[in-house]
Structures are given as C-alpha cells and as structure tokens.
Amino acid sequence: MNYIEWREDYNVGHPLIDAQHRRIVEVINTVYNLVKGQGDKGDLSKALGALLDYTVEHFTLEESIIDSIEFPEGEEHKRLHLKMRNRTQNIVLRNAKEPYAEIAEETLSLLKDWWLNHIRTIDVRYKPYLDNLAAEQGCGRDYE
C-alpha cells in the first residue's frame, strides 16, 4: 500500500532530482508499510537508515545543482535541507531508543508533509533556473 502516490506534477524537470524525489517517496512508503505492521523493528531501522542516507545523497546533489544554476534562494534552500537532515537523523536515533509504534504517526506525518511541501512549494522555485540552463545549453526541459 502506498502512503504517498507520486504525481507527475511533483517533477521539477531535472531527471536526476525527479528520480531521487520518487525514490525518497518509495522509501517513505516502505517506512509506512513497516510501521503499519508489515515488517519487524529491524526492517524499520534499516528503512529509516536508508532514508537518512538517501536524504543526504539527494540534498548533496540538489545543492550542487542549485549552486551551478546560481539560484538566488540557494542558501535558504540549503538551510531547509540541513534542518530536515537533522530531523531525519533524530528520527533514526529515536527509533533506535524507543518502540517505533510510539513515534510512528508523528514520523509518518513529518516525512509526508515535509517532503511533499518541500517538493511542491520550495523545489519548484528553482524550476525556472533549470529551464533557463536547458535553454542556454540547447536542451529540452528534461535535459534529453
């Protein structure tokens, strides 16, 4: 069962960023299914660890792209990433200390709300800069 259904309007127009966003949604769906009883605590710990690793990997890529397109809101964007990286790390640490059922709903809501809001309202702000870069390079919008 999917907690979050990916929609095409979540795409920002960069194939690597879009693929990573989809992968993060898949991992959140895995966490959801594990919390809802479709796995054990060890599986949940692995999934949360994977989410943290993938979050860091994604933010690193996205921030390098933001730097390359000279996005004027880049520093604020990076601050938001740092906050979420820390929050995700805290979720992983809390899961190691507490039974996951006690943090499940809070964790799921945070992950879903933060990621979807970030993609739809924050990441979309650099979309015109990606479009400009693609136009300058003579590429289609999706860098094909």
Domain positions in the chain: 9-136
Superfamily of domain 9-136: Hemerythrin-like (1.20.120.50)
Structure confidence at residue 40 (pLDDT): 72
Mean per-residue pLDDT pooled into runs of 10, the chain (144 residues): 92 93 95 81 86 96 93 96 94 78 74 93 92 63 44
* Calpha distance 59→127 (Å, rounded): 16
Number of Cβ atoms within 10 Å of the Cβ of 32 = 20
Torsion of CA 88, 111, 61, 15, to 10 degrees: 160
